[in-house]
Amino acid sequence: MNVPLAERIRPKSLDEYFSQQHLVGPEGSLTAQLQSGVLSSLILWGPPGTGKTTLANIIANQSGRPFHTLSAIDSGVAAVREVINKAKQGSGLFTTKNPILFIDEIHRFSKSQQDSLLGAVEKGWVTLIGATTENPSFEVIPALLSRCQVYVLEAFSKSDLENLLNRAIATDTLLSQKKITLKETQALIRLSGGDARKLLNMLELVVLSESADIVEVTNTLVLQKVQKNTVLYDKTGEQHYDIISAFIKSIRGSDPNAAVYWLARMIEGGEDVKFIARRLLILASEDIGNANPTALVLANSTFQAVTTIGYPESRILLSQCTIYLATSPKSNASYEAINKAQQLVKQTDNLSVPLSLRNAPTRLMKELGYGKQYKYAHSYEGNFIAHEFLPEEISGTSFYKPGNNPKEKSISSYLKQLWKDKYDF
């Protein structure tokens, strides 16, 4: 039997599908759609091996719709159009359920490939289900994303993965030919990186490679049977998240040597250059901000450049940007300011805009006093006049506190000069 264990025990119904209860549980966000049979196009976003493909198949089975599947790795625009044409031919006056088109790794589709889906999704010829391990906000074109609901699949917990191992041992006909004891699971879980598919297939490798009918699964046995060098850097598993975390914290901690080391680990592991550059772009604003505004400019230029040229040359640009950010003055003042402002917005709801700041495009609005007491800054000396720009209920609230670095010290002095006692840092 050549079918892998993960495929042999793949759930066929929601009754067999465990975890992701926030999506398919009694109060799940997908449950109502599945029960009603009215299904919108959607994108399933989550780490590898968390059940995206399985859920798509279950949705198709439960809804009773024709199911077409494409892989973004080996399907071009022609393949997409062929499936859409089949769907159109199958649609008619007496057809109540349109086909489901499942696209695995939709983030690998080019813009032109994604564009080719728009008409079919818009007209309802197909219901699109896309699966992705990457943030759809970055990898799916806005026009297509706006036509889909995004559902996030959560990484499996340790108990989820252990339950999956036990279920496989109890239900799979091939494994049940041996007496298997799960004495230790740490190595299996760590090497799988939380990927259920990889976890099950490693279990099968370990068990079936033992000639004895009685197999005790231990960490030592797993490490002996599984090639450890294959997971030196798994860009879809635990290493992916641990190393990017070490990379970001090294830059934040102003250690260029450590930052370049972790960058090299990602490059050698074949990490997506856009993923690395995106994190640098975020860090330039979150951890450096106005302490050195040029950092954001350089990070943005780096993102655009590496997206264009790719490996191997992009490693040089990433290194330059990494070292620049690591050696730059740091400030998270802008990050803290928006956090405080959002928290206050949630607490105070929708406070009214002061009348002096409102737009007055009509005569009635002018009669009601909209914009009447607004003071135009450029009409005053130094292009400044003190005015209250916050709602009355939160007047005088301070969100932004400049950081202790040369650039923001000058910002602090400037604000104090303008506002006198209002900005008392």
In a domain, 345, yes or no: no
Q: What is the CATH number of the domain that holds 246?
A: 1.20.272.10
- State whether 175 and 148 are in the same domain: no
Same domain, 320 and 367: no
Q: Both 166 and 147 in a single domain?
A: no
- C-alpha dist (Å) from residue 240 to 331, 374, 398, 405, 423: 26, 52, 38, 33, 43
Q: What angle do CA 51, 52, 53 make, to 5 degrees?
A: 95
Residue ranges of the chain with per-residue pLDDT less than 50 = 1, 92-95, 229-231
Give the model's pLDDT for residue 423: 65
**Is 1 a domain residue?**
no
Domain that holds residue 256: 238-326
pLDDT of res. 248: 95
Of the residues 198, 214, 231, the one at which a domain ends = 231
Name residues whose C-beta falls within 8 Å of residue 410's C-beta, 6 or more positions apart in sequence.
none
Query: Are 61 and 132 in the same domain?
Result: yes
Q: How far, in Å, CA of 222 to CA of 351, rounded?
A: 60
- Write the CATH number for 110: 3.40.50.300
Q: Give the pLDDT score at 94.
A: 39
Q: Residue 95: what pLDDT? A: 46
Same domain, 29 and 133: yes
Q: Are residues 108 and 24 in the same domain?
A: yes
Clarify whether residues 31 and 148 are in a common domain: yes
**Residue where a domain terminates, one of 152, 181, 215:** 152
In a domain, 91, yes or no: yes
- CA-nearest of 194, 328, 322 to 267 is 322
| Tokens encoding 406 | 């040369």
Q: What is the pLDDT, as a whole number, of residue 354? A: 87
Q: Are residues 358 and 261 in the same domain?
A: no
What's the pLDDT at 92? 46
137 and 111: one domain?
yes
Residue 78 falls within a domain, yes or no? Answer: yes
pLDDT of 203 reads 94
Q: Is 7 inside a domain boundary? A: no
Verify that 207 and 164 share a domain, yes or no.
Answer: yes
The residue count for the chain: 425
Based on the fold, state whether residues 185 and 249 are members of the same structural domain. no
Indicate whether 333 belongs to any domain: no
Is the residue at 75 inside a domain?
A: yes
Q: Give domain status of residue 396, yes or no.
A: yes
144/200 same-domain check: no
83-109 confidence digits (pLDDT tens):
888 777 765 433 456 888 999 889 888
* Residue 91 confidence (pLDDT): 56
Count of domains in the chain? 4
Answer whether 0.75 is exceeded by the pTM: no
Domain boundary among 231, 255, 281: 231
